[in-house]
Amino acid sequence: MIRSLYSGIGGMKNFQTKLDVIGNNIANVNTYGYKKGRATFNDLVSQQLAGASTPVAEGRGGTNPQQVGLGGGLSSVDTITTQGSLQSTGRDLDLAISGDGYFVVNDGSGNDFFTRAGNFYLDEGGTMVNADGYYLSGLDGQPIIIPNDAGYESYTISPSGEVLGIPSDGEPPVELGQIQIATFSNPGGLSKAGNNLFAVTPNSGEPNGGAPGIEGRGGIVSSTLEMSNVDLSEEFAEMIVSQRGFQANTRMITTSDEILQELVNLKR
């Protein structure tokens, strides 16, 4: 009976964690490039009451093992890396990746991070940066710079990641840089570093950087941003299931407590 009490406590902790994950997903439903999380559970070790036996020679059949489970535990908190919907913004420096891969940004200290959020900006020197000032890396690992005083009328970004300056004198476009896209053998193994950034871990594999649209990398869609891949209807359904699971485990604790109370009241 005490086993049921502790199983109920473990179940409450598990569903609290799942509700935390769901709450974070809902909070980021409008975060560009956000990848939702998912909590999964597993059953814990079972206590053996009796082992299995083989049939005996006299014709008696074998018996199955008798086990009592000791509750469940948290198995994993996964990052679901499916593609989010693309939203047109009409802004030239808003970029989305259609397919696999991540933009590579650098914090200026040699540390690379990876993101699906493509809302980029130009700093005072014309360097393409994200909202935190991390510069967007080109194929050579260097910043991509769009000079504002070099006689360019405008600029455009092709699906293959080429940043082209349009001269004001009618000359052919000039390539100013090539955006790099990185893929991973296990993107689910990336670590969320905050601010829409991911960091490499030992289980994600090393980044395979290159030009967009080749070797399995997605292409770039300009004037577009990738929305979160959170499905609100799915999250609300999971929230209801988690809430009922939590309530059921609290009822299990209450029932176990009532039985314990009856045992204590046997001696009066």
CB-neighbour burial class of residue 153 (10 A; exposed 0-12, middle 13-18, buried 19+): exposed
pLDDT band of 264, cuts 50, 70, 90:
confident
pLDDT band of 1, cuts 50, 70, 90:
low
Mean pLDDT across the stretch 232-250? 96
What predicted TM-score, i.e. pTM, was given to this entire model? 0.87
- Residue-level pLDDT at 103: 97
d(CA 54, CA 77): 41
| Phi-psi category of residue 153: left, alpha or beta, with phi > 0 → left and psi -120 to 50 → alpha | alpha
- Residue-level pLDDT at 139: 92
d(CA 189, CA 199): 9
Q: Which two tokens stand for residue 121?
A: 């900006």
Q: What are phi and psi of 71, to 5 degrees?
A: 100, -170
CB-neighbour burial class of residue 58 (10 A; exposed 0-12, middle 13-18, buried 19+): exposed
- Residue-level pLDDT at 96: 97
- Residue-level pLDDT at 44: 87
pLDDT band of 127, cuts 50, 70, 90:
very high
Higher local confidence (pLDDT), 60 or 256 = 256
CA distances from 108 to 135, 183, 200 (A): 7, 21, 17
Q: Is the pLDDT of residue 151 over 80?
A: no
pLDDT band of 150, cuts 50, 70, 90:
low
d(CA 244, CA 70): 20
What crossing angle do the helices spanning 2-27 and 232-264 adopt, rounded to 10°?
Answer: 160
Torsion angle in degrees (nearest 10) through CA of 21, 82, 107, 204: 90
Mean pLDDT across the stretch 131-145? 93
d(CA 124, CA 200): 30
Share of the chain above pLDDT 90, in %: 68
Higher local confidence (pLDDT), 53 or 111 = 111
DSSP element (H, E) containing 22 = helix 2-27
Q: Is the pLDDT of residue 149 over 80?
A: no
Q: Is the pLDDT of residue 221 over 90?
A: yes
For residue range 19-71, list pLDDT tens digits in order: 999 999 999 999 999 999 999 999 988 888 888 888 877 777 888 888 888 88
In eight-state DSSP terms, residue 201 is: -
The whole-angstrom distance between residue 91's C-alpha and the CA centroid of its chain comes to 26
Share of the chain above pLDDT 70, in %: 98
Mean pLDDT across the stretch 167-190? 90
Positive/negative CA dihedral, 64, 68, 71, 75: negative
pLDDT band of 146, cuts 50, 70, 90:
confident
pLDDT band of 233, cuts 50, 70, 90:
very high
Q: Could you state, in order of their start, the residue ranges of all structural domains in the chain?
A: 2-52+63-81+230-264, 86-226
